[in-house]
A and B are shown apart, each in its own frame.
Chain A
Amino acid sequence: MGFVRGLKCRECEREYPVEPIYVCEFCFGPLEVVYDYDKIKKSLSREKIQSRTQNLWRYKELLPIEGEPSEALHTGFTPLTKAENLARLLGLRELYIKDDTVTHPTLSFKDRVVAVALAKAREFNFDTVACASTGNLAHSVSAQGARGGFKRFIFIPASLEYSKIIASLVYEPNLIAVDGNYDEVNRLCSEVANKYRWAFVNINIRPFYAEGSKTHGYEIVEQLGWRTPDNVVVPCASGSLMTKIWKSFKEMKEVGLIDRVTTKVFAAQATGCSPIVTAIKQGVDVIKPVKPNTIAKSLAIGNPADGFYATKVIKDSGGFGEDVSDDEIIKAIKLLAKTEGIFAETAGGVTLASAIKLIKEGYIKKDGLTVLCITGNGLKTQEALDGHTIKPYYIKPNLASFEEVLKEIQNVK
């Protein structure tokens, strides 16, 4: 293999060897993986990718791993579903859902980043993996770490949805529920990572981990028939996914898999935690941290690590951002379910509701091809819909009781 040249600071461009480090010693800028794109260009082709198994390792030359990821779980290559019902309703010519609600094995896009992070943790000879999580990452590190035979320390805000806590506990990691919000958990984890030699996937392994998000973008391009969409709407927590989707499109051009990138990138956040969208709307690149208050807990990062770079992606691509209320989030979750049969978690509601606003405001043109990135499964956050769904019809186990209800239903319809 050997397509990775090393790590480089995004700010001052100082170079570092491939090690479990994430911060430039001189300016504190983030370290990023640098690839030999010329070499990848000579080695990689559409045909080669298409001949491989349908999982995220089909893009392995563009991922920061050495050799074959033999122990890693099968993950990625989720459906890109044409959403005709929803498109008709919104007046869009062409709309697709990139459906990471069905990512293997834990039903969110985090399985992508964790697959890469754990492959890397193995290469670095760590025996313990850890993370700071709003829930989805906790599931993925718990599950994939179990299979990989790692010791696992999972830090979450204690206030997470009950169902999200159970879905970590079942894999029996050391689950540390912190009395604080995600930003406090994250700060604590930075200090823990400072002290213990563990592979914190989103701290000291972050330069490698974050690269896994690119596969969400590669798949969109491949599944659209090797072209980029006109618009892509991405939910933002730390902002990392959005920056990596943009990077994935540009890399595919760089290595000759596509000729051009014509995409506008749009950011979606909940109004109760919208530091990135606030900066976009104000046209500034300084992110003012906030104390989150939203049902979209998976996006509740008030102090987003990649916020600055996220605003740059919006500027570079000519996109914009929108934020939506809890009520709009719930309505959008239900709309996606009843039009396209996809049950997304709250972040999915944020994405669709923001897209609807961006269409109304004219930022997303109706005659283009739009992709919504739906990143997690609704079964994980059912509490959010408590009291907001329709009710079942309760009947006795006899035909008369059923027909009484049937009459009622037919009268309503």
Chain B
Amino acid sequence: MAVKVRIPTPLQRLTSGKEEVDGKPGTIIELINDLDRQYPGLGERISEAGKLRRFVNVYVNEEDIRFLKAEETQVKDGDEVSIVPAIAGG
């Protein structure tokens, strides 16, 4: 088991079209750094200097991480993480 990470369309070019990939447990930022090792370039698209970019929302088991511990939120095996563009709705 690993952390399941859902990848939005704009990033699927970096994951060879995969909509879902496996990530490593730890904080969200550690997870992103690990994804960047697996899929080079992915990290800088969604984060900058250890922080998520303004227009990226991340959810852990459907909860917005800004209601949790933001980038320091811990994820464990079996958790589902969604990376979603912030510009939607309304």
List A residues 151-195 near B (Cβ within 8 Å): 182-184, 186-187, 189-191, 193-195
A193 to B88, CA, bound (A): 10
Interface residues on A, range: 35 or more
User: How distant is A28 from chain B, measured CB to nearest CB, in Å?
Assistant: 4
Q: Are B90 and A305 in contact (CB under 8 A)?
A: yes
A25-B88 contact, Cβ under 8 Å, with A183-B64, A289-B66, A308-B54: no
Q: Closest chain B residue to A29 by CB distance?
A: B55
Query: How many angstroms between the C-alpha atoms of A22 and B8 in the bound complex?
Result: 12
When distances are taken between beta carbons in the complex, the residues of chain A under 8 Å from B86 are: 28, 303, 305
The residues of A that contact B53 with a CB separation of less than 8 Å are: 27-28
Do most interface residues of chain B lie in helix, strand or loop, or is the interface mixed? Answer: mixed
Tell me the number of A-to-B contacts counted with CB atoms below 8 Å: 96
Distance (whole angstroms) from the CB of B23 to the closest CB of chain A: 17
Give the total of B residues in contact with A, Cβ under 8 Å.
27
A26 at the interface (CB under 8 A from B): yes
Contact check: which of B8, B46, B55 meets A190 at CB < 8 Å?
B8
Verify A186–B89 contact, CB threshold 8 A.
yes
Of the residues A184, A194, A289, A291, contact of B8 by C-beta under 8 Å: A194
Task: Determine if B90 and A240 form an interchain contact, defined as CB atoms under 8 angstroms apart.
Answer: yes
How far apart sit A183 and B86, CA to CA, in the bound complex (Å)? 11
**B19 close to chain A: CB less than 8 A:** yes
A73 within 8 A of B: no
Closest Cβ neighbor of A185 among chain B residues? B89
Chain B residues with a Cβ under 8 A of chain A = 6, 8-11, 13, 19, 45-46, 53-57, 59, 62, 64, 66-67, 82, 84-90
For this complex, 28 residue pairs linking A to B, each with C-beta atoms less than 8 Å apart, are A11-B55, A22-B87, A22-B88, A23-B9, A23-B85, A24-B10, A25-B11, A25-B13, A26-B45, A27-B45, A27-B55, A28-B85, A29-B87, A183-B64, A190-B88, A191-B82, A191-B84, A193-B88, A195-B19, A202-B88, A237-B90, A238-B90, A289-B66, A291-B67, A304-B90, A305-B87, A305-B90, A306-B90
